[in-house]
């Protein structure tokens, strides 16, 4: 891609604006108004994925059988069962408070038995899958920001969970990985 290819069309700018407004509202209503500040770095995760997806939209199906495209699709598709499985478990076992994020019971079964943050792992897989569609300086900067923001989000949220669940969450942390079972 040349530098000019990184410019957004009017349609993409409209989608970016609407998406950003949605992300701000989501961050406020789901996390920040509840004084759950992991929503701040998570905003940058969502925003980075949105921008990257918009900038890379025209190359998603270019050279579909290249190694990077295949790895990209594996990551993109892997994000679906991680996110869906986590949301289903969260809904079934979390005993919700005011919103789906505010569970009153720690969920430790299913995928949560092995990893603490399957939803953030799904976002990471999604971001890296988009990144691999077309590696360039802009996508490299975005993936670095998104990866760091996901990590910070997890660490802030873990502090929130320790304050909420105490030793139960600390013990849970000792038995599980951050994003990928048996690895990290």
Count CA atoms within 13 Å of residue 28 on its CB side: 6
Instruction: Count CB neighbours of 96 within 10 A.
Output: 13
- 111-119: average pLDDT: 92
- Give pLDDT tens digits for 46-90: 999 999 999 999 998 889 899 999 999 999 999 999 899 888 888
Q: What is the pLDDT at residue 181?
A: 77
Q: What angle do CA 36, 40, 41 make, to 5 degrees?
A: 120
How far apart are alpha carbons 110 and 133 in whole angstroms? 31
Q: What is the pLDDT at residue 87?
A: 86
Of 148, 143, 144, give the one whose Cα is nearest residue 131. Answer: 143
- Residue 16, judged by CB atoms within 10 A of its CB (0-12, 13-18, 19+), counts as middle
- Which tokens is 113 given? 């038995």
Of 45, 50, 75, 23, give the one whose Cα is nearest residue 151. Answer: 45
Q: What is the pLDDT at residue 3?
A: 41
The yes-or-no verdict on residue 36 having pLDDT over 70 is yes
183 pLDDT tier (thresholds 50, 70, 90): confident
Of 59, 84, 183, 76, give the one whose Cα is nearest residue 125. Answer: 76
Place of tokens 């509202």: 25
Percent of the chain at pLDDT > 70 equals 92
Contact criterion met (CB below 8 Å) for 1 and 136: yes
The yes-or-no verdict on residue 2 having pLDDT over 50 is no
DSSP 33: G
- 104-123: average pLDDT: 91
Q: What is the pLDDT at residue 162?
A: 95
The yes-or-no verdict on residue 145 having pLDDT over 50 is yes
- Which tokens is 72 given? 């990209």
């Amino acid at each position: 891609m040349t530098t000019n290819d990184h410019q957004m069309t009017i349609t993409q700018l409209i989608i970016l604006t609407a998406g950003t407004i949605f992300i701000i509202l989501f961050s406020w209503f789901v996390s920040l108004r509840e004084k759950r500040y992991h929503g701040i770095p998570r905003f940058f995760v969502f925003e980075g994925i949105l921008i990257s997806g918009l900038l890379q939209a025209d190359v998603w199906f270019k050279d579909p059988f290249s190694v990077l495209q295949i790895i990209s699709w594996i990551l993109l598709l892997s994000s679906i069962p991680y996110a869906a499985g986590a949301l289903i478990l969260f809904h079934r076992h979390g005993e919700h408070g005011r919103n789906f994020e505010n569970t009153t019971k720690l969920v430790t079964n299913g995928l949560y038995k092995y990893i603490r943050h399957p939803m953030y792992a799904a976002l990471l897989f999604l971001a890296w899958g988009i990144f691999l569609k077309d590696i360039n300086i802009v996508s490299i900067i975005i993936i670095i920001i998104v990866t760091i923001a996901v990590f910070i989000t997890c660490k802030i949220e873990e502090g929130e969970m320790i304050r909420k669940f105490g030793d139960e969450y600390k013990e849970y942390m000792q038995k599980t990985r951050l994003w990928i079972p048996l690895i990290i």
